[in-house]
Structure 1
Amino acid sequence: MSAPNARLRVCHLLCFLGLLLLAALLTAPASARADAPDQTVTVQGPDGVAIQAAVWLPDDAARGGARPLVVISHGNGGWYRGHHDTAEALAHAGFIVAALTHPGDNFEDQSRSTQLTARAPQLSALIDHMLAWQGPVRADPARIGAFGFSAGGFTVTQAVGGEPEMRAIPAYCAEHPDHFACRLYAIQPVDPASWRPEARDGRIRAAVIAAPALGFAFTPDSLKSVTIPVQLWQAAEDEILPAPFNVEPIRDGLGRTPDYHRVEAAMHFDFLTPCDAQNRLPRPLCASSPGFDRAAFKSTFNRDVTRFFVETLGAGAATR
């Protein structure tokens, strides 16, 4: 494949989601959409850049009190509403859920999509904001969880103590230049001086990591600081972040055995909200393996994610 065609292919994968989401925003008011969050907020980022975020409230928020908080980090080219079905399931179970749109790596702007180590500090800024947030309920600082998909899975792995060895990327990409991450880094190289391997946020007490990116950059030694419970998900037919280079190094490197799920026949984007009349995404993001029912899978996924956070953070009941 020629370099221009490779660039186009990567751009399509990153940008198609943005184009469709932008069209949805232009044609459907947020208040009319079933996936609309309860609130949108602006967070002060660690580098002074404003971060847009959304908040879903527990169904019984009127009762007040302190509730467990789950923060969500999306994948490359995504946004805060990309996992709204999971956010809603957690809110129904009594959690406060906050999801951010990562600056420079979202559906409108991919100018910093390879600067992955900048993301974990942004997630921490969201936690800072939610702990100071004035709403009908309060975020309990002792009950904070994090969920991340794809690049967001890398983000959460780093935020809970993983220290990625980013200098592993050149050697990996020399062997696998056709892999999505390597095509992206070839187009948008990153200065090693900008890498921030250490970004642990000790306030996060449990994590769900789905189809993480750059898993090969983590080793048992670089994961030794991850001591919290982790639920780890793998798509058996992941065409974007293939086995055994992404999930397996994290699964096998964690000192504490994760709650590991391998989803047969699932593809990478099956972890996104199911496509329907209100969530019309381009075919690469909606495509599933023949016979794979994304809606049914996501129902099971959301139930298992909710169960995990209830078990590790406590039920979403109010505390005073």
Structure 2
Amino acid sequence: MIITFFFLLAAPAIAADVGFEEVRIANGTQPPLTAGIWYPTNAMATPHSLGDSTQTVAQGGPVEGRGLPLIVMSHGGGGWYDGHYDTALALAHAGFVVAAVSHVGDTFNDQSRVLQLWRRPAQLRQLVDYMLDEWPSHARLNAGRVGAFGFSNGGFTVLVAAGGIPDLSKIGPYCEAHPDHDLCEALKHAGVDPRSGTEIPAGAWIHDPRIKAVVIAAPAFGFTFGRAGLSRVRAPIQLWRAADDRHQPHPYYEEAVRADLPRAPEYHVIANAGHYDFLPPCSARLSRKMPDVCNSQPGFDRAMFHEQFNAEVVRFLQAKLR
């Protein structure tokens, strides 16, 4: 079903503004993980630069509230932790603490391990561990109210975190059958053999049963799971597809996930939307720098869509993380 409109739902705010901080998280023998954290605060928020964007936050302000739910975020391939800052702001205004990690080896400045996909769920679990055990304000969190949000490669990541087990050996045959598809062309352009991710370390797929609800937008590698690979996913899922996604052609990604989940997700298909419309509206500077990411189809209002999208994400997570 194509969904072209939403009812905007006002979420009750528990604090006047949103606080923000950037942290470094120990990552074993690897370089530390970098994460952004948004949270409710009563400190005064002011505009601050974040990459190519500007967000209105109270940098380092005190956390307001107790028993707060936690949402962890996983960005798309070649992104970084700020990739869904507007959704993070909406969730923090609604009383959530949001932590987003930059995935080492799959960021805008480091694509060295793009097909070592098992590294991503492990990093996401490290983020949950840090937030619940080491974050200076961890006592204000409710460890029983943890959710996850992921886009593209991040959607794949949170599916694994929720119990999914992919079969990466499917990528090679997929690219042999669909060499013109974006994933396969991107791997070829990067000089990456589609079969190079098939040698997976034992116990590589790290799950996190603390995650009780999941929002997934345009999940990458959806075709690698299958019914058996998704049989252990029990958390409620809100699943989003862009109807005009030319990077992840239908039905190999979102539809493959929707059809094979053991429980039907809340499924949204957005008419006239492209893959990157799940990213926030771009600044003028970023639009000049990355037009392929920033330009939507004629007639599609990305800013209006994000107001609706964020409201629906907040509504779903409030309902599932009571």
Conservation of the 8 A alpha-carbon contact between 1:158 and 1:197: no
Task: Give ranges in structure 1 of 5+ residues lacking alignment.
Answer: 1-35, 315-320
1:290 aligns with 2:292: no
User: Share of identical aligned residues, percent?
Assistant: 46
Alpha-carbon separation, structure 1, partners of 2:35 and 2:305: 26
Structure-2 change in CA distance of 1:175 and 1:83 (3 Å): same
Name the CA shift for 1:76/1:37 in 2 (closer, same or farther; >3 Å): farther
1:40 aligns with 2:22: yes
Q: Which amino acid aligns with 1:217?
A: T
Distance (whole Å) between structure 2 residues aligned to residue 271 and residue 226 of structure 1: 23
Pair 1:263–1:46, CA change in 2 (3 A) = farther
Q: Is the 8 A contact 1:77 1:110 kept in 2?
A: yes
Cα–Cα, structure 1 residues 102 and 310, in superposed 2: closer, same or farther, change >3 Å?
A: same
Tell me which of 27, 50, 69 is aligned to 2:32.
Answer: 50
SS at match of 2:255: helix
CA distance in 1, matches of 2:295, 2:105: 26
- 1:62–1:136 CA contact under 8 A, matched in 2: no
State whether residues 121 and 158 of structure 2, in contact with CA within 8 Å, keep that contact through their aligned partners in structure 1: yes
Q: CA deviation at 1:300?
A: 0.3
The Cα RMSD (Å) is: 1.8
Query: Aligned partners of 1:155, 1:136: CA distance in 2, in Å?
Result: 24
Aligned mates of 2:73, 2:63 — CA distance in 1: 23
CA contact (8 A) 2:74 2:157 kept: yes
For 2:97, give the aligned amino acid.
I
Change in CA separation of 1:38 and 1:63 when aligned onto 2, cut-off 3 Å: closer
1:188 aligns with 2:170: no
| d(CA) in 1 for partners of 2:28, 2:255 | 31
Q: 1:179 to 1:130 in 2, by over 3 A?
A: same
Offset, 1:38: 0.7
Is the alpha carbon distance of 1:191 and 1:265 closer, same or farther for their aligned partners in structure 2, counting shifts above 3 Å?
closer
Aligned position for 2:316: 308
Q: Which amino acid in 1 is paired with 2:124?
A: L
Q: Could you give the per-residue CA deviations for residues 209-242 of structure 1, whole angstroms, max 9, x where no partner exists?
A: 0000010001111101001100000000001111
Post-superposition CA distance 1:179-219 (Å, at most 9, x none)? 12112333223242236663211010000000000100011
Selected match of 1:140 from 132, 139, 142:
142
Give the length in aligned residue pairs.
279
What displacement does 1:287 show? 1.1
Q: Does 1:69 align with 2:70?
A: yes
Partner of 1:123 in structure 2?
124
Equivalents in 2 of 1:221, 1:48: separation in Å? Answer: 33
Query: Superposition pairs for residues 1-320 of structure 1, below 5 Å?
Result: 38-45=20-27, 48-59=30-41, 62-132=63-133, 133-135=135-137, 138-186=140-188, 187-189=191-193, 190-194=196-200, 198-277=205-284, 280=287, 281-314=289-322
Displacement of 1:45: 2.5
2 CA distance for matches of 1:46 and 1:248? 37
| TM superposition score normalised by structure 1 | 0.83
**Residues 145, 207 of structure 1: 8 Å contact kept:** yes
In 2, Cα distance between equivalents of 1:62 and 1:101: 22
Q: Which has the higher strand share?
A: 2
What residue ranges of structure 2 are gaps of 5+ in the alignment?
Answer: 1-17, 43-61
Q: Distance in 2 between matches of 1:236 and 1:198?
A: 30
